[in-house]
Amino acid sequence: MDKIGQTTPMDKRHYHIPPDEATRNRLRALIADTFSGEERLVPPVAQERLDRLSDRFIAEHRLSPSWKAWLMVELHNRAWRDTVAAIPADKRILLMPKCMSRTGACRAEVDELGLLCRRCMSCTIPELQEKANAQGTLSMVAEGFTSVIPLIENRVVDAVIGVGCLDSLEKAFPLLINHAVAGLAVPLNSDGCRDTTVDTAHLSTLLTMQASREAYLLDYDSLKSAVRTWFEPANLQALLTPGDDPTATAARQWLGGDGKRWRPYLLAAVYLALTESHTLPVEVQRAAVAVECFHKASLVHDDIQDNDALRYGTPTVHAQYGVPIAINVGDILLGEGYRLLVATGSMELLRLAAGAHISLCQGQGIELAGNDASRPPTMAFILDIVLRKTVPAFEVALLMGAVCAGADAALQAVLSRYARALGIAYQLQDDLEDAAKDHCPTAVQAALSEPGVTSLAAAEAHVRTLIASYHRQALEVLDELSNIELKRLLFRITQRILKSE
């Protein structure tokens, strides 16, 4: 293949994009041709993978390494293009920077939301706004992508087509990727923050493209609200075994009390993503509440065994009612969980729950038996506990959602590997944030036994390295998914649970 760009060392003093529109269009076509068919990029694509893909693309086509940032943007666009095309035009927004206006000629005013165009026609902004408006697409002239995140979160818009310089796009990338925003980024053809230009024909094509089939996008906030209602007193009264005895009353209060509800949310969300449904059958609701029953039961028993007085900042069940009643509360929640799963009619859901339950108890037993101050914990010991306790808690929710949706064994295997990486990263992060625990061994304590780790600061750094490694593994596993909405869901979950905002 002909050499398209000069392979010279990157010089950050210059704005490195392909030199003319014809070359840029040629490269866009080459990217489209390369990453189609079996190599199709399923969004969202992690920034590290975009980095690797751009390096490969540069090497294969003998391109200038200085074009890497521009190529990463275009690879990101290749991944999202079909999804954005399948989102109705009136659910998209065009975001342009103020620097596209013409210095000295522009008569626009600027307020806290951005530039108020007076349509003097001295630049391309009014032309592009007209094209967007003709499609029913919102448009805004403002700096940065942060201004549109609330619009995305509130479902005012579902996709962003954003114009910006490479520097601003580089800063916006983590924001777009971590929120799994359906979006396309169009780099300006120059920097300098004044009198900039963009490939207008290319941008016009992006504004007017429309797929024949509308994309299915999960309404995350509505789902969270729905899951919360399942744990309100009236719903629990209807779902659980009737009874006003002290154990049943305490169990309902504990189940309906504080908690992030990650597990029932994950189960329901996986089901919706795989089925592209807008409603949740009662069987899915029962399975989701069952998962939370198991989780809340395990917390009651954990708090007794660890002698913890507080959970979620309030007295634990045994601190309120005493150990005998607390044990009974945990046990009745286990019974309610299995009763709810029986009501779904699925033996596979029962098998998954029983396996996770047994694994959790084994992990807790190993942890309790190993809580010996005279023998510092090893990292292998910690990871063994995490694999038995934390990982199954994530895995059972994901797999139950998949089973309810009729997913095959191959997809379930992918979800299991994802749960393993996510669960380990989550628990290591939790240990790092609570390194002062004195009732059970933590990863930070275990890191002190690793070769070359001789101080608390070094131990914490070692754990952070492990968290980053398992975080990467979780995202890499997601690259095996072909279902865009499932991948987008789990990508968002990963970044939020591991606090990569």
Average pLDDT over residues 474-483: 96
Q: What string of H, E and C letters represents the secondary structure of 278-303?
A: CCCCHHHHHHHHHHHHHHHHHHHHHH
Residue 315: its H or E element: strand 314-315
pLDDT at position 19 over 60: yes
Which residue, 158, 177, 208, sits at the end of a domain? 208
Residues 107 and 191 in one domain: yes
Residues 204 and 229 in one domain: no
Residue 477 inside a domain? The answer is: yes
Q: For residues 461 and 459, what is the distance between their CA atoms, to the nearest angstrom?
A: 5
Q: Is the dihedral of CA 352, 355, 361, 363 positive or negative?
A: negative
- Give the tokens for residue 87: 């989102």
Would you state the pLDDT for residue 12?
44
Average pLDDT over residues 399-425: 97
Residues 231 and 188 in one domain: no
Residues 155 and 295 in one domain: no
pLDDT tier at 15 (50, 70, 90 boundaries)?
Answer: low
CB 418 within 8 A of CB 477: yes
Which residue, 182, 208, 234, sits at the end of a domain? 208
Residues 437 and 484 in one domain: yes
Please give the model's pTM, rounded to 2 decimal places: 0.88
Q: For the ranges 90-99, 166-175, 247-256, which has the lowest average pLDDT?
A: 166-175
Residue 409 inside a domain? The answer is: yes
Q: For the ranges 188-192, 202-206, 281-285, 347-351, which has the lowest average pLDDT?
A: 188-192
Residues 85 and 112 in one domain: yes
Residues 198 and 230 in one domain: no
Bridge partner list, 92: 159
As a whole-number percent, the residues of the chain with pLDDT over 70 amount to 89
Residue 112 inside a domain? The answer is: yes
Give the total number of structural domains in the chain. 2
Residues 63 and 111 in one domain: yes
Residues 374 and 246 in one domain: yes
The domain of 280 spans 220-497
pLDDT at position 142 over 80: no
Q: What are the pLDDT digits (tens) for 42-86?
A: 999 999 999 999 999 999 999 999 999 999 999 999 999 999 999
Would you state the pLDDT for residue 117?
58
Residue 46 inside a domain? The answer is: yes
Which residue, 183, 208, 233, sits at the end of a domain? 208
Residue 453 inside a domain? The answer is: yes
- State the DSSP string of 64-80: -GGGHHHHHHHHHHHHH
Would you state the pLDDT for residue 442?
83
Q: What are the pLDDT digits (tens) for 202-259?
A: 999 999 999 999 999 998 889 999 999 999 999 999 999 998 899 999 999 999 998 8
Residues 160 and 273 in one domain: no
Q: What is the CATH number of the domain that holds 454?
A: 1.10.600.10
Q: What are the pLDDT digits (tens) for 276-315?
A: 999 999 999 999 999 999 999 999 999 999 888 888 788 9
Residues 380 and 459 in one domain: yes
